């Protein structure tokens, strides 16, 4: 996997497998902007969204983990897709996923890896920047 030169082939296959809880390592972390966007999509104030849908661990907000799947996953589809959190939007282009070894592990879990169009280097860099920035704002 040499994404820095050739990009990488990826297209979401709608498996919903990235939306299934893996405990603390699978939480969906939320910036303030993420919470505001989701609250707006649900038609409720941000404060209410935070109270009803979020938990805070080690000072960081994340979606509350009430069941095995993300609470917004309905029939293997994201029911808040347009307003989905940054970490969902940027998946699988996270800094920690971009080594050859990590990418191989991701490919074993995510059927979108290796499918569809080649995502160009510049787009991958933009998604990595977006993910890094959101992590910094948590």
Contact status: 19 vs ligand SF4 (CB under 6 A): yes
Cα–chain center distance at 46 = 20
State the number of binding residues for ligand SF4 (CB under 6 A).
10
Q: Which stretch binds ligand SF4 (CB under 6 A): 45-53, 54-62, 70-78, 94-102?
A: 70-78
Q: Does 8 bind ligand SF4 (CB under 6 A)?
A: no
Q: Should residue 54 be labelled a site residue for ligand SF4 when binding is judged by CB under 6 A? A: no
Which residues lie below 8 Å from residue 74, measured CB to CB, with a gap of 6+? none
Rule CB under 6 A: say whether 124 interacts with ligand SF4.
no
- Window 75 to 114, contacts with ligand SF4 (CB under 6 A): 78, 80, 84-85, 88
Residue 9: strand, helix, or coil:
strand
Distance of closest approach, residue 37 Cβ to ligand SF4, in angstroms: 11
Q: Among the candidate windows 44-52, 71-79, 98-106, 123-131, which touches ligand SF4 by CB under 6 A?
A: 71-79
Handedness of CA 89, 94, 97, 100 (dihedral sign): positive
DSSP 87-125: HHHHTT--GGG-SHHHHHHHHHH-TTEEEEEEEPHHHHH
The tokens for 131 are 């993910």
Instruction: Point out which residues bind ligand SF4 (CB under 6 A).
Output: 19, 28, 70, 72-73, 78, 80, 84-85, 88
């Amino acid at each position: 996997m040499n994404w820095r030169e050739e990009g990488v082939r990826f297209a979401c296959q709608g498996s919903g497998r990235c939306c299934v809880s893996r405990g603390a390592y699978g939480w969906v972390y939320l910036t303030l902007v993420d919470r505001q966007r989701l609250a707006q999509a649900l038609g409720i104030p941000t404060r209410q969204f935070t109270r009803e849908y979020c938990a805070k661990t080690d000072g960081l907000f994340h979606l509350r983990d009430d069941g095995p799947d993300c609470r917004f996953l309905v029939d293997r589809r994201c029911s808040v897709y347009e307003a989905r959190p940054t970490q969902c939007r940027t998946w699988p282009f996270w800094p920690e996923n971009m080594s050859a070894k990590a990418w191989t592990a991701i490919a074993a879990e995510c059927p979108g890896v290796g499918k569809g169009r080649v995502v160009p280097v510049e787009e991958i860099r933009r998604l990595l920047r977006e993910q890094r920035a959101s992590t910094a704002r948590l």
